[in-house]
Amino acid sequence: MEYILNNKNSGDPSISTQRIDPLRIEVLCCRLWWLKKWKNGKLSSPYWRLYWNMNKGAYIAYEGRKIEITPNKLVLIPPNTTFETYIDGNNEISENKLMGGVIHSDDDIEECMKKNNIIHLFIHFNLGGELDHFKKNIYEIPLCEIQNLFIQEITEKTLSNNDLIQIHTAIKIHQLILSTIQSIGEDELLPQQLHPRIVKVIEFINQEYHRVIDNAELADFINMATNSFTRFFKENMHLSPQEYIKNVRINKACYLIENADLSFDFIAQKVGFSDRYHFSKVFKSVKGIPPAQYKKQFIRK
């Protein structure tokens, strides 16, 4: 974002061009769940994930690392980082499987703990622009006192009404996200540097992915000739504009499959496909498996 004031004699201290890196937090969901089974192989999503568990026994596997999610740490996962998950005692399950559900009360927590189920807080979010093209990694953040207070309030409010997060709690969720991101070292917290025009196009695609967008429209949006734009985009993103749009649509579809019980016809239309058959074909080309198989690993039992 740039602010430019041409009148240098105005007396306003902001008399020169100033660029502030954009930070646009969009919280997609914040839920407290119990988990009996949590077996996922090669899980990857187009959004950030923040995990905290009330008890021990759940793990993430990433590039040879075994990371336990415990009450004294936060686990932060950047977009498109591929990882695996499992719980003590069911790591040998051959197929991906999720068995769990929403926690509604303190009594639910007590009952779940007696059954050795995992109490799992997860927040999915985007930060916007370059920060959603962050380098892939898994970050373990020791829980500090203020973050612990945020978590206590967030879990308390989600128990009282899991479907409605009011503004005061939403602020706490944002504070927890920001404090966790800020815990990453300054040298580490350097996202992939993208050309401002590419950032502008990406933000446009993320807003308009549900409709037909051709290269000419994207080129015109940033005042470039179509052929020049197409080369420019591929040089920067290592994908053609249409390949990138396809991936955005499929990633949006994955989020809907993971977090809502919707028909594939509805999801296909929602993310910009003319019918479920075309959607299924493209989904398999991107993810390697058809959407029905992908959905199986998120079935709640």
Q: Which residues contact 46 (CB under 8 A, 6 or more apart)?
A: 79, 80, 132, 248, 251, 252, 254, 255
- Residue 135 has a pLDDT of 81
> Is-contact 140 75, C-beta < 8 A?
yes
Which of 154, 146, 140 has the alpha carbon at shortest distance from 183? 140
- Residue 3 has a pLDDT of 42
Could you give the CA distance from residue 224 to residue 219 in angstroms, rounded to a whole number?
Answer: 5
Residue 132: both structure tokens together? 């959603």
- Residue 94 has a pLDDT of 62
- Residue 121 has a pLDDT of 95
The burial of 27, by beta-carbon neighbours within 10 Å (0-12 exposed, 13-18 middle, 19 or more buried), is given as middle
Rounded to whole angstroms, what are the CA distances from 157 to 23, 78, 151, 207?
26, 26, 10, 30
The distance of Cα 25 from the centroid of its chain, to the nearest Å, equals 11
- Residue 165 has a pLDDT of 81
- Residue 76 has a pLDDT of 97
Q: What's the mean per-residue pLDDT of the chain?
A: 85
Could you give the CA distance from residue 114 to residue 105 in angstroms, rounded to a whole number?
Answer: 15
**Residue-level pLDDT, tens digit, the chain, 301 residues:** 444 444 555 556 555 666 666 678 888 889 899 999 888 877 878 789 999 999 999 999 999 999 999 999 999 999 889 899 999 877 666 666 788 888 888 899 999 999 999 999 999 998 876 677 788 899 999 999 999 999 999 999 888 776 778 889 999 999 999 999 998 877 776 655 678 888 889 889 988 999 999 999 999 999 999 999 999 999 888 889 999 999 889 888 988 887 778 899 999 999 999 899 999 999 988 877 888 888 876 655 4
Which top CATH class is 26-182? mainly beta
* CATH for the 196-296 domain, from 1.10.10.60, 3.40.190.10, 1.10.10.10, 3.40.50.300: 1.10.10.60
**Residues of CATH 2.60.120.280 domain(s) within the chain?**
26-182
